[in-house]
Amino acid sequence: MFKKILVANRGEIACRVMRTAKRMGIATVAVYSDADARAPHVLMADESVRLGPAPAAESYLKAELILLAAKETGADCIHPGYGFLSERESFARACAEAGIAFVGPPPNAIAAMGDKIESKKLAKQAGVNVVPGYLGEIADTDEAVRIATDIGYPVMMKASAGGGGKGMRLAWSEQDVREGFEATKREGLASFGDDRVFIEKFIESPRHIEIQVLGDQHGNIVYLGERECSIQRRHQKVVEEAPSPFVTPEMRRAMGEQAVALSRAVGYYSAGTVELIVSGADTTGQGFYFLEMNTRLQVEHPVTEAITGLDLVEQMIRVAAGEHLAFTQDEVKLTGWAIENRVYAEDPYRGFLPSIGRLTRYAPPEASAHQQPLGSVSDAYVRVDDGVTEGGEVSMFYDPMIAKLITWAPTREEAADLQISALDSFELDGVGNNIDFLSALMQHPRFRAGALTTGFIAEEYPDGFNGAPAAPELVQALAGIAAFAATAEADRARRVDGQLGRRLRPPSEWLVRIAGREHQVLLAPDTLVIAGEEADLSIEYTPGDRLVHAEWNSAPLSVRLARTRTGFRLTTRGASHTARVLPAHVASYAHHLIEKVPPDLSRFLIAPMPGLLVRLDAKAGDKVQPGQPLAVVEAMKMENILRAEKAGTIKSVEVEAGASLAVDQVILELE
């Protein structure tokens, strides 16, 4: 077995690999950029080596610096994590040439599967179902339009070396191809150093299913069930679960056998994932098609670990050390249900725009003592995989994922319920985040029914996200919590104020306005009366608490609480509610408060996120129409087209192409 492992990555995956390595008794080495000098993965490692400046191209993507760090520290193996160098054939080959074990597949397998065009040809030869499309190189936009027309709309344009949702565009018409083809090429070049694009038929009502494979260097290959990854935004996975609520045992076997056949055809070993697109309308069990093979560990690997009881990182390390798999296909058992939610630094209330900044508050839900349903373990549990800490910074240089929240339970419904309660107790301030949105997804009737497609988010939130709907009973409970908190704070204020001379009783009757309704709340001894009825609500609260734990209708309820000028902001179950709380005898004055009217900003084209203005398609004096593309802003390696909201004439342009933009910075103004 290896003595020392270098993890050629950062953030949560670096921490994840190190936890397993330490459990196996293997010493760990971290590498870092200047932006990560005090990051958790650096502090966790036994040794650490600086690579260079913050940009990945000057640090984490410098293969020669990583190999030098391995030699200087005496590391005998390198785990690449995912992203960065994990799927670079050249890096795996360089490790072998340096006499350092690469914890991953052989270079030839990475090369074969890393090219999406060539991998589809290999998959077809191996007897794997493939999506109809054009797999040759495409010279220019005009040729792309001809090919797309021949295939038939809708089509998907994909960068040949792409992944992680980058370098992908869906086209419903010739105009979409003309607008998106060059952008797809640029994203492929910027993210992967390869601007080749291929086009294939877009499967409507699609589900994204993937098969986890695991092989050793002795020809043994198994599949470890499937993962449902259909809930995506801009082709970036948001929610993953295992198993899939759609896949039958017969489909699982057919998918798994094709995934193993493909793996065997390229001499694969280590952990890998065969991604499939599945027609949600298919009832034969054969309507699945090969998308790509990821020759690395996947972000969503914890859900497979949860239902199989296997540590995939440990298996990768053992395979790299030359060990045989310790189990056969018949011994792979799937137990219970697991769901993973990706907590991102993005603001769903502003169109999911990326957010950067310092984590002024970071307190994830407490993870369960046991992390996998091994042996006789059958209790539901929570797992948090992260690589950040309070006070740390979410940088524009790297992926916006903050943490992964994983729950396991005997049933899908229980795993989803556990996600909701864990998200309620996830405290995160300082950057925009998608916690409310994730909770809303877990509660959505369509999610609960398992009726998923890759268009789920676009279909269910066509006008954006404005918070999860709250039942009247929940709003009433929040009114009671707000009144209780106001009473506790009023009581503390009077007790600490020595000038009063005597302790004054805080008001016992309050008027709480929340969610557009007013609630009369009476706090009598040992009871809480809301709208004339005794509420089944008990509360644990000390003035200053940011998280309130309550029991509502005999079920736990966690509420994040923040003080406002006239009351509190209460966040739970996927939405924030502002509660105005006043003693009942002065509440009548509240109706005279003046609301501010927001200014009209429709004349301005405003940067919705910090980023780089890569293209400007308008100048002063130009006439524009609604929906016309005016500018392209790149943020976190993704291009975003900014369009005119209304017709008009451009009065002035405030910035030039190539400029770095701040959020809400004015790009141009209409007359």
- Alpha-carbon gap, residue 39 to 398, rounded angstroms: 13
- Alpha-carbon gap, residue 460 to 463, rounded angstroms: 9
226 is catalytic: no
- Contact, 192 vs 663, CB < 8 A? no
Contact partners, residue 142, CB within 8 Å, separation at least 6: none
DSSP letter, residue 130: B
Query: What count of Cα atoms within 13 Å lies in the side-chain half-sphere of residue 133?
Result: 29
Q: Could you please report the per-residue DSSP string of 529-550?
A: EETTEE--EEEE--TT-SEEEE
Tell me the Ramachandran region of residue 627: left when phi exceeds 0, alpha when psi lies from -120 to 50, beta otherwise.
Answer: left
Report which of 405, 397, 401 is spatially closest to residue 346, judged by C-alpha positions: 401
- Alpha-carbon gap, residue 569 to 501, rounded angstroms: 32
Contact partners, residue 461, CB within 8 Å, separation at least 6: none
- Alpha-carbon gap, residue 21 to 76, rounded angstroms: 13
- Alpha-carbon gap, residue 38 to 50, rounded angstroms: 11
Report which of 619, 598, 615 is spatially closest to residue 669, judged by C-alpha positions: 619
Residue 30 β-bridge partners? 7, 48
Place of tokens 């198994």: 222
368 burial (CB, 10 Å; 0-12 / 13-18 / 19+) is: middle
Residue 660 β-bridge partners? 612
- Alpha-carbon gap, residue 252 to 212, rounded angstroms: 11
Place of tokens 């319920």: 417
The length of the chain, given as a count of residues: 671
Token readout for 592 is 């005279």
Which of 292, 305, 340, 489 is catalytic? The answer is: 292
- Alpha-carbon gap, residue 581 to 536, rounded angstroms: 21
Catalytic residues: 292
